[in-house]
A and B are shown apart, each in its own frame.
Chain A
């Protein structure tokens, strides 16, 4: 494929304010980053620093009555901020995919996995039910989930967290997204499942050239997957750069603090 490095998603000067009874408060400010084709950008920071708000604003799912989103979010040159809902809907799930943090709650409990996968596929394509089903089966096969045909008839509560994460990845794979936002994809999983999920995320990247925004507070995950890293603190990006450089020679104090707190990572992996 070569080293084609075109920018897929560009976020400039993102500024999100929330309006509540006490007035306006700023959640994130001055956020700038780029996602390039086939690249993984890691976004690290502690809970509450604004990572999820950032991804929600990319997807334009924040409540317009209480939040104000300023700045530019451009997907392949197309401005997303302020885009009409029906146009944005087409982009969600197809051009920009999302992996949720807690997979156990993500799906609707009363519908089967198959029904929801097919529904996802058919709302973005003009496939028939049968075609969608075939596509879904194949995708499940790709992420190495056992007995895909049977799985399609299962309900979400019958699957484990790791399996559900892979289903989410499978859905994304069906639609070949340009961007995938993975919000803490490994937090709810055990170590073995973590590795598996990361492997398939990487698969998306290599097969479709999907740009991945990998949000995590787990530095080990970032170290393994990311090409570039951005560090967030209190709603701002305090440092960004190449993953190796950042980990070896952190410039910002906060980055240094984060890194020093995770010295025991290799030991964790050995223990299991």
Chain B
């Protein structure tokens, strides 16, 4: 089993390198010269001399391969360059804002899992029951609602009309409620549907019937056996859809003025702050790769067939 883990970890290194390659290459795709952009943001008049100097500083006059290797080395040291706007190391700015995004993401994931597991499970067990219809409704509309609009609707309802929760900002748990709810809904839509389908499929399996014939209580069969089996595809789905979570944080942070990494990214786009943009894209890719890996590992723990079979010769 340790072998399997090691193999998986090794397999992501080339993907990381590829991501670094793409982000380095991004600069060259841009019609904007990074040196010019920097000077523009710093409000310095670009003369040829200063431009050349800046280019040299950024290493832009070196062959691409050298630039790539430099980038990779720098990334390993968490050096993403200096922000054009604030003149501070990008990593510092990012590290400063990251906790807020993580708080939001975790809050939403928690809500999403707490709601979708019981909902999806009950919907699958009692097909066409009341819970099932509710779950299908949520699944459908949750996926079709524009996240930013949902955020404002919630704000309108809870903050403006009912004055229960703050409109924006960060600080107390009340500040966290609406943003995480907004972010959680598309996730709930997806997970509920996945779990429901998985439960329905599992109920047809022979092991359920045999468990009943052995004299297990219905509660035991459902809560222990079926749930454990059915949750596996949902976890895979969870991993694959973390991308939605990432995307969502950007929008939710803008809507709720949540001072996180996503909002910073949008600001950087407006400011043409290229180092920050690069950093975000790379970290997004890294997050993506890592989360897929973690999901794989969790899968392995839940479903023992995966790792054991790798070793067997069949």
Residues of A within 8 A of B (CB): 59, 61, 85, 89-94, 98, 100, 102, 105-111, 119-120, 123-124, 155, 157-158, 171
Contacts and interface: CB of A to CB of B under 8 A. Distances in A.
B94 to A, nearest CB: 40
A119 B225 CA distance: 11
B65 interface: no
Interface stretch (B27-35, B85-93, B137-145, B202-210): B202-210
Interface string B195-228: 0000000000111011111111110100001001
B214 A120 contact: yes
B224 to A, nearest CB: 8
A268 B2 CA distance: 47
Interface of B: 205-207, 209-218, 220, 225, 228-229, 232, 302-305, 308-309
Contact of A123 (B205, B207, B215, B305): B215
Given A109-B305, A155-B308, A89 B206 contact: no
Contacts of A105: 205-207, 210
Given A108-B229, A155-B308, A93 B214 contact: yes
B228 A110 contact: yes
A98 B213 contact: yes
B206 A110 contact: no
Nearest to B211: A108
Nearest to A109: B305
B215 A110 contact: no
Contacts of B206: 100, 102, 105-106
Contacts of B305: 109-110, 155, 157
A65 to B, nearest CB: 12
B229 A110 contact: yes
A102 B215 CA distance: 18
A132 to B, nearest CB: 14
Task: From A89, A93, A100, A108, name the one whose CB has the most chain B CB atoms within 10 angstroms.
Answer: A108
Given A98-B214, A100-B210, A120-B216, 15 more contacts: A61-B209, A92-B213, A93-B214, A94-B215, A105-B205, A106-B207, A107-B207, A108-B207, A108-B229, A109-B305, A110-B305, A123-B214, A123-B217, A155-B305, A157-B305
A89 B214 CA distance: 8
B198 to A, nearest CB: 13
A61 B302 CA distance: 30
Contacts of B302: 110
Nearest to B302: A110
A120 B207 CA distance: 13
23 contacts: A59-B213, A61-B209, A61-B213, A89-B215, A90-B215, A92-B212, A92-B214, A100-B210, A100-B213, A105-B206, A106-B207, A106-B210, A108-B207, A109-B305, A110-B228, A110-B229, A110-B302, A120-B216, A123-B217, A123-B220, A124-B215, A155-B305, A171-B214
